[in-house]
Structure 1
Amino acid sequence: MTRVSQPDTSWCESRDKWAKIWFEKLSRFHGRKPQATWEFTADEVIAYLRDHVRRKTPAWKRLKIIQSLICYRRYVQSAPFDDLTFIRIKLEVLARNEKIKQATVKQSSDDAIEEIEDVVGHIDPREPDVIQNLRRAIRLRHDQLATERAYVSNVRAFMRSRGLKCQADFAAIGAADVESHLTDLAVDGNVAVSTQNRAFYALLYLFQHVLKREMGEVNAIRSNKGKQIPTVLSVAEIEQIYAHLRGVHLLIAKLLYGCGMRISEVMRVGERLGLRV
């Protein structure tokens, strides 16, 4: 026994609802009362749809309108709708082309993002957007990794001191904030001149290449922390060390002291000479 499926009641209700809604809108557009006795023409529908084109209504939505008006003709007015069919067919083509175009644009956008990622490398999306953009700017300009690490560290410190969370928060930040931050580094942080300078140039870089605006004149209190002079052994102390060494270990000590070599460099020399260190 063949089972006859029942029509989807919810779909029918939705269809009739939208058919009446768009018929009422069409009626108001032409200054008429939304009465089912009005036999609207294809030209009146086209005029209404052209108004939607001027309002930049997408093709898929205009297709919904004509489908609803066809349903109104068919199920409410019980009238022929052949004169509206060619409009529906035309809008089906436009909607399909519109969908293809949108997919192409999205793919192009995705490809562009992938190309940028290929150039600058992976950027952690969990970082604040301003830090992500700073990394991209540095990498696109082919600056050194050490520069990136230093600048990111300096900008993070500035953000903490100012309570900034994202790039939008920088809208109200200017030279006065930078000046105050640099002064704090010198007065409270007692940092070296080079550390204060690096913080300044990191923020200047941020303004120029990420925020795309001038930072303004900065007159911060300059750091006066003296240059650190390393503590070294005297000649007599070095000779005492030599006196307790023999063979390869004595050679290593003399290379380190006399040539200023690093431990790793001395180890590589020993390996090349076949010495057991």
Structure 2
Amino acid sequence: MEQNETSDPRIAKFWQNYTTLLKRFRIPPKSIPWYRRHVEGFLADHPNVRLRSHSAENVVRWLERIGRDTNIDAWQYRQKVDALRILFGHFLRQPWCSDFDWDRWLNGARALESDHATIARTYEMIEKSVEDPKNHLARTFPDLYRRFLVAIRLPDYSINTEKSYLDWINRYLRFHNNRHPCDCNEPEVASFLEHLTLQRKVANATQSLALNAIVFFYAHVLERPLGKIGPFSRAKKPKRIPTVLSIKEVNSLLIQTKGLNQLILHLMYGTGMRVMECVRLRVLDLDFEYRTIVVRAGKGKKDRTLPMPDVLIAPLQAQIERVKEQHDNDLAGGFGSVFLPDALSRKYPNADKELRWQYLIPASRIAQDPRTGVVRRHHLHQSAVQKMVKRAAEATGIHKRVTSHTLRHSFATHLLEAGSDIRTVQELLGHTDVSTTMIYTHVIGRGGQGARSPLDRLLVESP
């Protein structure tokens, strides 16, 4: 288009109007030329197709193709998607755009970080950890860092616990100006914990986590168990009641989404899965014969089986077909591998390219594995789901604090309201202790708060 722009005033007018629309959408001025280049790139790849003749299939095929280009960063990919969204959805107002799942392509582009819980333990590269400016333990005391990894991984602590413990150990070291931990004793630990309460105003659970990390470090890494730490200011432990949505509120939340986003919310509310459990589902975890969904290595590394909602059978089967089509295209392009946990990739060398191991909710683009350098299609980043839930809640006008975990709370509460046994709900949620599940009885007024207000009785009985 650039070559004929000066000779054809219609083309000049087209770009002028498109630029004006970009400004209305508050696209930064420095990004506007790039939006134009993205549209020009799309048009150049379809030289024989008129602009208004493009279909959703053309856009999908183009986004899938450029999504396999490892030279394109996630932000660049999102920019390309946004350029087409504004062009076809708001400038040309194509009818098919109202049903096009733009969110899937926009939000599914983020790659997993090197310390993401899914892939963090694939390989442990001490050299890269030493280069990390935030990892004071690895930079200052690399031998202690190696001992820490051995100490926390032999008993098979979760990756999230490992990351939390390491973070608090690094904070403890920074607080004492990177002194050698052996030179710090109980008084130094007490001063750090008191600093968290008085200066940082942390919650009780946060202070307890910091204490557990330091106690573990001294006992299992330094092999110098701490004695009596002595008195220090402890953060107060509040009693929190989970936020629960009513049936009507859940329904209004769900109708704000469509496509893959709606399927994700249906899964989370319909089964009570945590957000990471949902995005990590693989094709083999769905059993349509027994109508079950298997959650593997959930919190505490526990597997559990959940009933598959009947209304999701057809949408889940359709999603598998979409995954299969995408996977076939990836294989044809020389890709198609997926991350396998533990040592499965060595035990089954070709399993990473089998359909059954593919993620049910894949990212919209392939990306380089930050640990191994292998180009793979990972699962959708959990932050995309969290942001999507927040946007949907804002659109409904719900004033409660709604997060992705609110759907899990609502699932448990609505089961109890429908008469389900507390032990059944405990098993479905994967709680180790039933006391954790009992919190939902207070939400529905079956616990000590089940009394009726005397004001209601007064107004009813008054003449």
Interval of TM-score (by shorter of Structure 1 and Structure 2):
0.3 to 0.5
Superposition TM-score, scaled by structure 2 size:
0.28
Q: Which structure would you say has the larger Rg? A: 1
Kindly indicate which of the two structures has a greater share of residues assigned to helix: 1
Superposition TM-score, scaled by structure 1 size:
0.44
